Amino acid sequence: MSSTANGVEGRRFPPPLASHEDVVKDPTLFWDTLRNFHSQLGTKYMVPVIGGRELNLHVLYVEVTRRGGYDKVVSEKKWREIGTVFDFSPTTTSASYALRRHYSSLLHQYEQVYFFKQQGPSITSAATGTIDGKFDCGYLVSVKVGSEILNGVLYYPDEAASSIATNQSCTTLIPFNPKPLNSGRRNRRRRRRGGDPSRPKPNRSGYNFFFAEKHSALKSMYPDREREFTKMIGESWTNLSQEERMVYQSIGLKDKERYQRELKEYKERTNPRQQKELL
């Protein structure tokens, strides 16, 4: 499946309104420039919540850039170290994962402009894209602009804001199978025979969450080696430390609890007389 975007000419990242040193020293200036940055790009901007508290994005930006920026923090596995700065509650088991996800979506491009002083890719022609995968909140996509291949995530309009605001994970990967153009009649029959749309979505394992995150990163680094991704991700999972693996397993356990709770409510709602048997 492909899509084309026309009429986007000569677009770059908006120029910085202050120096990196100034936004580090002045939180108010940081927030003003960050809001302006997202406004200029037309991207969603909401302050995320972790452990019941709003995440201080200024502190997060300072700590990550102090360690050399997002890519270096990822490669050196410094997210847990950065998490200690925020004094999260001991019950917040996925803090490192959440910090990385929120930084990637809200601060990574800002970092490119203010810390690395990049202008961003110039879009001078029509863009064509393909959907590489589907997950609960949207799609993994590749977009070709001229000779450049860009990778990223497209969220459903309501899902992106709600996932950031509630700190819910939004990375469960689902295989994507494009529908044939001549299958309309067949699909209508399937919809009539299909399952209950109100039935809860099945839970995903910790590995599923890890796979989705790693796949997106590999796609941007090795766009021509997609057939090797499954093996590469499996090896990366094997090489994780016990603590690192527990982050994803904890997310998987929470999703399992969510599914069991929602399934119980669903069964009680649809089969109230058989409640005891179903439990």
- Give pLDDT tens digits for 223-232: 788 888 888 8
What is the rounded distance in angstroms from the CA atom of residue 46 to the CA atom of residue 158? 13
Output the pLDDT for position 136: 61
Contacts of 78 (CB under 8 A, 6+ apart): 67, 72
Single-letter amino acid code for the residue at 106: L
Average pLDDT taken over every residue of the chain: 76
| 240-255 confidence digits (pLDDT tens) | 888 888 888 888 888 8
pTM: 0.45
Output the pLDDT for position 67: 95
Averaged over 21-27, what is the pLDDT?
94
pLDDT band at 150 (very low <50, low <70, confident <90, very high): confident
Name the more confident of 240 and 136.
240
Output the pLDDT for position 127: 61
Neighbouring CB atoms inside 10 A of 113's CB total 20
Q: Is 30 left (phi over 0), alpha (psi -120 to 50) or beta?
A: alpha
Contact status, residue 256 vs residue 203, Cβ threshold 8 Å: yes
Domain boundaries, the chain: 20-115, 127-157, 198-270
Averaged over 122-144, what is the pLDDT?
65
Whether 165 shows a pLDDT value over 80: the answer reads: no
Output the pLDDT for position 162: 44
Supply angle C-alpha 154, 173, 185, rounded to 5.
Answer: 80
Fold of 20-115: DNA polymerase; domain 1 (1.10.150)
Dihedral over Cα of 49, 51, 52, 54: its sign: negative
Domains 20-115 and 198-270 share a fold: no
Output the pLDDT for position 182: 53
pLDDT band at 176 (very low <50, low <70, confident <90, very high): very low
Dig out the tokens for 30 from the structure.
């940081």
Output the pLDDT for position 70: 94
Output the pLDDT for position 27: 93
The residue among 68, 71, 101 whose CA lies nearest residue 83 is: 101
Output the pLDDT for position 209: 86
N residues, the chain = 279
Output the pLDDT for position 43: 83
b/e for 56-66, b at 16 or more Cβ within 10 A?
A: ebbebbbbbbe
Contact status, residue 97 vs residue 66, Cβ threshold 8 Å: no
Least confident of 162-171, 220-229, 259-268: 162-171
Least confident of 33-37, 38-42, 115-119, 178-182: 178-182
pLDDT band at 159 (very low <50, low <70, confident <90, very high): very low
The residue among 97, 176, 181, 101 whose CA lies nearest residue 141 is: 176
Single-letter amino acid code for the residue at 184: G
Name the more confident of 191 and 25.
25
Output the pLDDT for position 22: 95
Q: Which of 54-58, 229-233, 266-270 ranks highest by mean pLDDT?
A: 54-58
- The CATH architecture of the domain made up of 198-270 is Orthogonal Bundle (1.10)
What is the rounded distance in angstroms from the CA atom of residue 151 to the CA atom of residue 175? 17
pLDDT band at 163 (very low <50, low <70, confident <90, very high): very low
Output the pLDDT for position 213: 85
